[in-house]
Amino acid sequence: MLDKLKKRRTQYALGKNLPISETQVDALIRDAIRLSPSSFNSQSSRAVVLFGKESDKFWNIASEALRAVVPAADFQATSKKLDSFASGAGTVLFYEDQEPVKALQANFPLYAHNFPIWSEHSTGMAQLAVWTALADAGIGASLQHYHPLVDADVAKTWNIPASWELKAQMPFGSNEAGFAEKTFIDDELRFRTHR
Ligand SMILES: Cc1cc2nc3c(=O)[nH]c(=O)nc-3n(C[C@H](O)[C@H](O)[C@H](O)COP(=O)(O)O)c2cc1C
């Protein structure tokens, strides 16, 4: 397990040469999310997996949305970044369905304020599971956040249910570069063990 977690890194240099088929990547993403935990086993996580031209469509939507808000002088840098995401093989859109969250709030009023928070935790766990599974299959990925700017166009393009809230976008593809050394803060700052 730890060797798999070690393989998971942010990869911006993405290409289209997946080491396994799109069908296998799709199955792997589905398995990773299906196996991820959720509060009260509510299974609120949803995913839209976009390959090839469908993924390009997403990054075009992001580009147009950003063009409208980013100062013209900065847009070239933004555009370059978006192109690097589009140069991969696909993108996973991570959603949380608010319907099961609301149902839990109605059924368990004592915890009502917690369920939206736990839904955020659940999507984080699903994202880590997918990112790690992709890395283990030799596929690079990064985690992006272009919502809510893109929400309306994305919902229209892929007919997304109104109760699904977009939480993250994960462009993925072949690893076209290595990874920089990762530094870690001192263990003393973050861990305390008592026995
Ligand atoms: C909650 C969360 C949000 C993140 N958001 C972004 C993001 O919007 N754009 C991005 O390029 N990376 C994003 N990252 C990736 C981090 O920058 C990255 O994981 C961190 O620098 C450590 O590098 P590593 O992924 O190679 O271990 C995010 C990571 C987490 C956990």
Nearest to 129 by CA among 39, 34, 22: 34
186, part of any domain: no
Q: Token match 């008592």: residue?
A: 194
4, part of any domain: no
> What separation in Å is there between the alpha carbon of 5 and the centre of ligand 1?
14
> What separation in Å is there between the alpha carbon of 8 and the centre of ligand 1?
11
6, part of any domain: no
Kind plus residue range of the DSSP H or E element containing 139: strand 139-141
pLDDT by residue (tens digit) across 86-102?
Answer: 999 999 999 999 999 99
**Ligand 1 neighbours (beta carbon < 6 A):** 9-10, 142-145, 182
124, part of any domain: yes
184, part of any domain: no
Number of domains in the chain: 1
CATH number at residue 156: 3.40.109.10
Closest ligand 1 atom, CA of 124? 1
187, part of any domain: no
82, part of any domain: yes
Distance CA 96, CA 166 (A): 7
One-letter amino acid at 3 equals: D
- Residue 4 pLDDT level (bands cut at 50, 70, 90): very high
pLDDT by residue (tens digit) across 8-30?
Answer: 999 999 999 999 999 999 999 99
Domain that holds residue 109: 11-178
Distance CA 21, CA 15 (A): 14
79, part of any domain: yes
